[in-house]
Chains A and B, each alone.
Chain A
Amino acid sequence: MKVMAQISMVMNLDKCIGCHTCSVTCKQAWTNRTGVEYVWFNNVETRPGVGYPRTYEDQEKWRGGWKRTKRGNLKLKDGGRLWKLAHIFSNPKLPEIHDYYEPWTYDYDMLLNAPAGDQIPVAKPRSLLTGEDTKISWSANWDDNLGGSLETMQDDPILQKMSESVEAEFSKAFMFYLPRICEHCLNPSCVASCPSGAMYKRAEDGIVLVDQDQCRGWRMCVSGCPYKKVYFNHRTGKAEKCTMCYPRIEVGLPTVCAETCVGRLRYIGLVLYDADLVAEAASVEDEHALLAAQRSILLDPNDPAVIEQARKDGIQEDWIDAAQRSPIWKLIQQYEVALPLHPEYRTMPMVWYIPPLSPVVDVVSGSGADGEDARTLFAAIEKLRIPIGYLAEMFSAGDPDPVDLALRRMAAMRSYMRGVNLDGEGDERIARAVGMPGEDLQEMYRLLAIAKYEERYVIPSAHAEQAHDLEEMGCSLDFEDGPGMGGAGPFGSSSGQSVPVAVENFQSLEARQTADRPSSPGRVNLLNWDGNGTPRGLFPPKGKDVPQGDMGPVQSTGKRNKGKDV
């Protein structure tokens, strides 16, 4: 057994209202640069729909992820190492930019400088690739809220797999939102596809990253990832991807998408897993067994044997403690309501989803029945074949049972808590019907519905003895075209020394602001004084107890030091 820690996320789709706040804040934080205009590390898709990039889930076309060979081994679905190297000059499975969308801006200048005329001036869309006028015909959210879905919805790879037709009429539709980030898989096929070895999984927290200095732009990661969550920066010629906001995670803060989530539906925490068993679990023959296999390699953080082995494998105490308090562990293993996205890709994704009950509740309430009555809901879950089948294709490789159980538990929680609120106690029969004690349902309710910040995000910070590693030095003027850089270098834009990731070191900032001593030794003046202590030379001498000797830069005169011999 080799215990490793993994930062992972669970999203409660039942609460997602599709507001795209996560996407927008993520984009502002990470991809508001040239070269990645079309890139959304976090995007929110309306399902049923074709997704972003279009039809990315159709692995017969894109050939991302892994496949199981006849001998039971795992092989990249697109082909082995030699195949990859043979196709390095032109990657046949690389999505073109039009599979995402052509990025554009508007000719805003026209609004200001148009000559006086009869018509109101219009800002025409301009392509950011060619600079020419363009006609916007697709975007990351073209079919948002099923808009225009009558034309494209039948291309949804999952619907095609189900060979079902879904009523796309607005009144009859079933619909939900799917926010997606990088899955930070336990068995990442993007990392396995990278010829340069520039992509790696961090041993401490399992975050999958691209070493920008080592990436040579071979583009195999883009096609290797079945979720299409590695992107090609067309200006720098390097791969970029969701970083799980590692500078924030390292100081104990949730990711930007999670922090800004209006619905408070994202959960971040640690899970411990057995790294020795990953390959075995990912190569289980039956696709329906993949979910159970992945659950089986997640280790119980309360098991003494696991704790002991974790210590041996160098996992610190506070990380073990965080794993024990992890909301992820509870949602995946205890309540079994969270499910992975497309386990059949065999990458062992670590961003899991609680399937949405709301389409079911909507149907029940819409028909005039009681949307909080357990029996009605259970019956509806059984009856609504298409939504369940669809969810099963997404979250359990087509096996309806795990989705069914998760939805029943959500429904049970709903009506059990109605009992608690209206009758003063929950109906234990409801709890028993889904195989959970009533207390567990109440705890689950607390985690999912009350969703306190501290319970949603249990993120141990990186270790203090490594704290200096978190501080990056860099000039804030060194951005492209900035005064420090002078624009594009001779080798094209963005070559030369890269701009360091600016880290707002939350913990150290807070520590400095609340410390009772100056943050830096040496002479303190009005410009670098942070308000703490009473630096020498800043204040007039105060009575005879002020020493004249060399006592260092700090002189505290507050009550704190009363009675001490100064």
Chain B
Amino acid sequence: MSPIEIVLWVAVPYVSIIAFVAGHIWRYRYDKFGWTTRSSQTYENALLRWGSPMFHLGILMVLAGHVVGLFIPREWLYAIGITEEMYHWGATVMGSFAAVLTLAGLAILIYRRRTVGPVFLATTVMDKVMYVFLALTLGFGTLATFVHQVFGSGFHYRETISPWLRSIFGFQPQPELMANVPILFDLHVLSALALFALWPFTRLVHVFSAPVGYLFRPYVVYRSRDDVQGTRAPKRGWDPISTPDPQRLRRP
């Protein structure tokens, strides 16, 4: 176990996780107002109409695939009758489809962001950084899938990457599992870790605002004026003040 491997497969993941969790907590407390999708649909709709749903639906499929591939031990899948071949075939076909959909959507969105004047002007530095790491992560992931899974002999990441990731979350890191992982998968993992560290400081925070509650609440929301002193707690030293008590001002 070389020091560099320890850094890459133990230190970096934990730094990334801490930045991700603490960053979200900080951002939510500090910047609820900035917590938004920052949609640019009002500027331009013709490209967004295609690009945005393609990207988002694609990335949701990618997410679902990663949850199954990384967090569900293969023995569990064997137990319900999903063999290695079935899994490999399904993951490769559906994964490739999702990857193409996502990348095509992302390409449309980035093209739009660069060429449509108002959208480009509304792009922040953080947006650009985020796009770089998002594109790198998606690109390496797709490349790894195509090189090893589609055209190659197939790499069994469920023997290496998946248990390594689970070991990280179990606080018993096993960096040795990552020793013989192909470089494309390494790059995919590392760029993803960088993206996760950046996540809370980008517009990606809107992922955690997925409005699932909309399905269950009544249509019309009523709130009392008394409850609506903003949704954030007053900061220390800024407690609400009340008008001075007239009794205390009056002479006895």
Q: In the complex, what residues of B have CB within 8 A of residue A232's CB?
A: 39, 42
Per-residue contact bits, chain B 13-55, to A (CB 8 Å; 1 contact, 0 not)? 0000000000000000011111111111111110011001101
Determine which of A88, A96, A521 lies in contact with B45 in the assembled complex, contact meaning CB atoms within 8 Å.
A96
* A-B contacts, 10 listed (Cβ < 8 Å): A76-B219, A96-B42, A130-B117, A131-B121, A191-B221, A203-B222, A217-B206, A234-B43, A508-B243, A518-B249
| A437 interface contact, C-beta 8 A | no
The number of inter-chain residue pairs (CB within 8 angstroms) is 195
By CB atoms of chain A within 10 A, which of B32, B48, B211, B231 has the most?
Answer: B211
Inter-chain CA distance A131–B121, complex, in Å, is 9
Given A192-B220, A492-B34, A234 and B201 contact (CB-CB distance below 8 Å):
no
Residues of chain B in range 73-132 having any CB-CB distance to chain A below 8 Å: 117-118, 121-122, 124-127
- Taking a contact as CB atoms under 8 Å apart, the answer to whether A219 and B34 are in contact is no
- Taking a contact as CB atoms under 8 Å apart, the answer to whether B39 and A219 are in contact is yes
- Taking a contact as CB atoms under 8 Å apart, the answer to whether B39 and A129 are in contact is no
- Taking a contact as CB atoms under 8 Å apart, the answer to whether B242 and A468 are in contact is yes
Per-residue contact bits, chain B 192-223, to A (CB 8 Å; 1 contact, 0 not)? 00000000011100100101011101011111
Interface range for B: 35 or more
Given A211-B231, A232-B42, A237 and B126 contact (CB-CB distance below 8 Å):
no
Tell me how far the C-beta of A247 lies from the nearest C-beta in chain B, rounded to whole angstroms.
12
Inter-chain CA distance A205–B52, complex, in Å, is 39
Tell me how far the C-beta of A231 lies from the nearest C-beta in chain B, rounded to whole angstroms.
9
Tell me how far the C-beta of B98 lies from the nearest C-beta in chain A, rounded to whole angstroms.
15
By CB atoms of chain A within 10 A, which of B52, B214, B223 has the most?
Answer: B214
Given A204-B224, A468-B242, A217 and B118 contact (CB-CB distance below 8 Å):
no
Q: In the complex, what residues of A have CB within 8 A of residue B52's CB?
A: 89-90
Tell me how far the C-beta of B102 lies from the nearest C-beta in chain A, rounded to whole angstroms.
12
| A33 interface contact, C-beta 8 A | no
- Taking a contact as CB atoms under 8 Å apart, the answer to whether B49 and A468 are in contact is no
| A97 interface contact, C-beta 8 A | yes
| A476 interface contact, C-beta 8 A | no
Q: In the complex, what residues of B have CB within 8 A of residue A473's CB?
A: 238, 241
- Taking a contact as CB atoms under 8 Å apart, the answer to whether A216 and B33 are in contact is no
| B170 interface contact, C-beta 8 A | no
| Top 3 A-B pairs, shortest CB-CB distance | A495-B34, A195-B211, A130-B117
> A196-B214, A473-B241 given. 9 additional CB < 8 A pairs?
A81-B215, A96-B45, A213-B33, A217-B206, A234-B42, A234-B43, A250-B225, A492-B126, A518-B249
Per-residue contact bits, chain A 515-533, to B (CB 8 Å; 1 contact, 0 not)? 0011111000000000000
Tell me how far the C-beta of B210 lies from the nearest C-beta in chain A, rounded to whole angstroms.
9
| B244 interface contact, C-beta 8 A | yes
Q: In the complex, what residues of A have CB within 8 A of residue B37's CB?
A: 216-218, 237
Q: In the complex, what residues of B have CB within 8 A of residue A202's CB?
A: 222-225, 228
- Taking a contact as CB atoms under 8 Å apart, the answer to whether B36 and A97 are in contact is no
| A366 interface contact, C-beta 8 A | no
Tell me how far the C-beta of A26 lies from the nearest C-beta in chain B, rounded to whole angstroms.
21
